[in-house]
Chain A
């Protein structure tokens, strides 16, 4: 079952290919997240889905209906797709209450009541209803924008980095409450962000975008553990990529012989380990040994560089908990738990 289906969407701005063949299926009621570095085309994609821009090629199907293709498109105001833009985009000439009630076609009192209800939902004080948008902080503006988009109970909600103006604590809490609100209303949601943690925590489906294409789409766990390439791996968290010779489910690597997640593959390949798979021991051991390089204090953990013995002097960095803090020049033994991922 798909609710939203994108088929090879393309969009150029001059010579820049903002979207270069994007395919995606979104299940009804699900939460998808799109992550990618700045300028990779995330906002452009949302604008096409919302109907603000026209794709040059490809089709968009919403709930089985073609809303945009090469022949023409359904205008934005007939799509009932809510969007919270990157900067909130509140109407500066209206109060907060009027902003929230903007898309409603009900009586004034009903609008006020709905606005008050939504303010509560996004965790804002009702006293702000009579203010103008420029009397709100950036984070408050974004939450009003969210309330405004929710007011019409859209079929699909597009969120373009809606939490970026919030501080860390508020961010997690707002993300949670927004996720709850949207799930409760059964609204299919697409979240755009360049914070991989947010994406991993929020989504049922994660799409990693790079230079106008999706590098990988899948469940967050899968994408995190089995990324298609080193760049995708690095985008979702610290990645240790090692050269290795793989054979019969085992890889010969600078960290010794490691089990891998590929049974049948044989030959030279890069393999991926996440830092949480690695533990260090002060006493030198039999398998892989190394030397501690630069150590940077970072609060609860220390950013520690480790250089392996042997050919190539391969090095990587680890966050070592403070209580086990190592010093430059310490000799250590390195052990690995779990399987390494093979990039084919």
Chain B
């Protein structure tokens, strides 16, 4: 008899999970559900529309045209970007190209120029430019850094001993590149091309400026002109399906395995290839790339600034837009990072199937184009939560959905560097689990959190599509002001706003560049 009571006393306070992780898990699940709202909305819209209407709205010539244009855009841009980025990454990382460090930085710098500013610059340079060719060309210069960054980082992380080994097995240098180097770049290439593909699908300003129609521009036209809800919903549905196709193709190509570096010891520093007499001819590639991706924006902006003179610096308006942008960026950046903390912690400390699934949900949610996110939030707030329509809360939620992975990546990396033993030590010193987490890991991961805030703010600053649709009345961010002015063909008046966006983005872009070097351990 007494034995049973004893066991009961001993077994009474037991949790299936430690308290900290059950709380974090709850929060992470709630955030994930919010993030999946746009996807759920599209599915709901598809069902609510009904089969006949849906078929009627989807299988028409307009959608077919958009589809062809979108597919061509993706199929042309991605291979060109891949070829360009891999060549540039090889030149800057693995050869004795003169000024390799400078070129490497110049290959990342185009990210500081918002995509719609790129096309504004091209239009300023060649006023008649339009259509698919222009779309592909501008997309390449605007987005190739998304591939250059991971590929050059992967080049730095490759173990050169493997290349030596392949040579000793009788492979000529080019065969070594094809059979040993390229397969190891595959993950980086897959990740980068996916990112570019999603941007191609989601971008509005770039293509609207050169009058090239994609699903995103069509949805916004539809939304702005007629508020024709159902037609817009169906276009969004097709757009989301396109995203899924991209995600599926990427997952298939990537495969399920990561390549572990085997063996002990540090990797040898890579040896640089001597270009010899090709040294100077090959300089043409980075030079031309920089001329198109940085030179054209610089020249156009410079031209309008000079042409506009002092008159375009309407300081009251510019100051207001700058202030609003910074406030929105900071609030959005902090909210995004805070929302990423639970899942970042779970994915490092409790890495299991469910945390990986949750993480996958965030990535899926963020791959929804901004226009779909905005459309969903507009519809939901108008129909169900009217008080939230066009409020700061709604737009911040949109930013959280779209940019959470940026914060997640930085946070994860720095949480993984904090030894779990510190958390355990704090717990053994009597801190509650949450308190232990806060006083150790969260504190020590602060640099990663700062980088997360910075990177998501960069995204928010240059975001136009969702901001336009969701911003509270009277808001005018730099991007919105720029867009409004350049739509009125006031190119000179728009220039100061573009310059400000670039200036604020530059340090953040440098941070990105630096981070990719650090991840590679250099």
Residues of chain A at the chain B interface (Cβ within 8 Å): 47, 50-52, 75-83, 85-94, 102-103, 105, 132-134, 138, 141, 148-149, 152
A92 pairs with B259, CB closer than 8 A:
yes
* Top 7 A-B pairs, shortest CB-CB distance: A87-B263, A103-B169, A76-B167, A92-B259, A134-B260, A52-B164, A77-B167
Q: A76-B167, A77-B167, A91-B165 are in contact. List 15 more A-B contacts (CB 8 A).
A: A52-B167, A77-B168, A77-B172, A77-B173, A87-B161, A87-B262, A88-B263, A89-B263, A92-B261, A93-B259, A102-B169, A105-B170, A138-B263, A149-B169, A152-B169
- Whole-angstrom distance from the CB of B124 to the nearest CB of chain A? 46
Interchain residue pairs with CB less than 8 A apart (17): A47-B164, A76-B168, A77-B167, A77-B169, A77-B176, A83-B168, A85-B161, A86-B264, A88-B263, A89-B263, A91-B166, A92-B162, A102-B166, A102-B179, A103-B171, A149-B168, A149-B169
- Whole-angstrom distance from the CB of A136 to the nearest CB of chain B? 9
Contacts of A148 in B (CB 8 A): 169
Number of B interface residues, CB 8 Å? 27
Bound CA span A140–B159, Å: 20
Is the CB of B257 closer than 8 A to any CB of chain A? yes
B264 pairs with A93, CB closer than 8 A:
no
Is the CB of B445 closer than 8 A to any CB of chain A? no
B262 pairs with A92, CB closer than 8 A:
yes
Is the CB of B387 closer than 8 A to any CB of chain A? no
Given contacts A91-B162, A92-B184, contact A51 B262 (CB under 8 A): no
Bound CA span A264–B173, Å: 59
Residues of chain B at the chain A interface (Cβ within 8 Å): 159, 161-162, 164-173, 176, 179-180, 183-184, 186, 257, 259-265
Given contacts A92-B184, A132-B257, contact A82 B168 (CB under 8 A): yes
Contacts of B167 in A (CB 8 A): 51-52, 75-77
Q: Which residue of A lies closest to B169 (CB)?
A: A103
Bound CA span A81–B165, Å: 10
B168 pairs with A50, CB closer than 8 A:
yes
Contacts of A141 in B (CB 8 A): 262-263
Contacts of B162 in A (CB 8 A): 89, 91-92
Given contacts A91-B180, A93-B184, contact A81 B168 (CB under 8 A): yes
B260 pairs with A85, CB closer than 8 A:
no
Bound CA span A50–B186, Å: 29
Contacts of B264 in A (CB 8 A): 86-87
- Whole-angstrom distance from the CB of B35 to the nearest CB of chain A? 33
Given contacts A82-B168, A134-B262, A152-B170, contact A89 B183 (CB under 8 A): no
- Whole-angstrom distance from the CB of A4 to the nearest CB of chain B? 15
Bound CA span A69–B400, Å: 62
Contacts of B171 in A (CB 8 A): 77, 103
Contacts of B170 in A (CB 8 A): 77-78, 80, 103, 105, 152
A79 pairs with B168, CB closer than 8 A:
yes
Contacts of A138 in B (CB 8 A): 263
Bound CA span A237–B81, Å: 61
Q: Which residue of B lies closest to A102 (CB)?
A: B169
Contacts of A81 in B (CB 8 A): 168
Contacts of A52 in B (CB 8 A): 164, 167-168
Bound CA span A132–B260, Å: 10
A90 pairs with B168, CB closer than 8 A:
no
Bound CA span A213–B184, Å: 38
Contacts of A77 in B (CB 8 A): 166-173, 176
Bound CA span A50–B164, Å: 9
B168 pairs with A86, CB closer than 8 A:
no
Contacts of B261 in A (CB 8 A): 92
Bound CA span A89–B161, Å: 7
Contacts of B166 in A (CB 8 A): 77, 91, 102-103
Contacts of A92 in B (CB 8 A): 162, 184, 259-262
Given contacts A103-B171, A152-B170, contact A133 B161 (CB under 8 A): no
Q: Which residue of A lies closest to B186 (CB)?
A: A93
Contacts of A79 in B (CB 8 A): 168
Bound CA span A133–B184, Å: 14
Bound CA span A86–B267, Å: 12
Contacts of A75 in B (CB 8 A): 167, 172-173
Contacts of A83 in B (CB 8 A): 164-165, 168
Most chain A beta-carbon neighbours within 10 Å: one of B166, B168, B261, B265: B168
Contacts of B172 in A (CB 8 A): 75, 77
Contacts of A103 in B (CB 8 A): 166, 169-171
Bound CA span A75–B167, Å: 8
Bound CA span A117–B225, Å: 72
Bound CA span A134–B259, Å: 8
Bound CA span A152–B184, Å: 24
Bound CA span A75–B174, Å: 13
Contacts of B168 in A (CB 8 A): 50-52, 76-77, 79, 81-83, 149
Contacts of A82 in B (CB 8 A): 168-169
Q: Which residue of B lies closest to A133 (CB)?
A: B262
Q: Pick the residue among B164, B179, B262 that contacts A90 (CB under 8 A).
A: B262
- Whole-angstrom distance from the CB of B13 to the nearest CB of chain A? 41
B262 pairs with A89, CB closer than 8 A:
yes
- Whole-angstrom distance from the CB of B266 to the nearest CB of chain A? 11
Bound CA span A132–B263, Å: 14
- Whole-angstrom distance from the CB of B515 to the nearest CB of chain A? 24
Bound CA span A83–B261, Å: 19
- Whole-angstrom distance from the CB of A284 to the nearest CB of chain B? 53
- Whole-angstrom distance from the CB of A52 to the nearest CB of chain B? 4
- Whole-angstrom distance from the CB of B10 to the nearest CB of chain A? 41
A89 pairs with B165, CB closer than 8 A:
yes
A76 pairs with B183, CB closer than 8 A:
no
Contacts of A133 in B (CB 8 A): 262
A93 pairs with B164, CB closer than 8 A:
no
Contacts of A105 in B (CB 8 A): 170
Bound CA span A94–B262, Å: 12
Contacts of B165 in A (CB 8 A): 83, 85, 89, 91
Bound CA span A82–B170, Å: 9
Contacts of B263 in A (CB 8 A): 85-89, 138, 141
Q: Which residue of A lies closest to B160 (CB)?
A: A52
Contacts of A134 in B (CB 8 A): 260, 262
Most chain A beta-carbon neighbours within 10 Å: one of B165, B173, B259, B260: B165
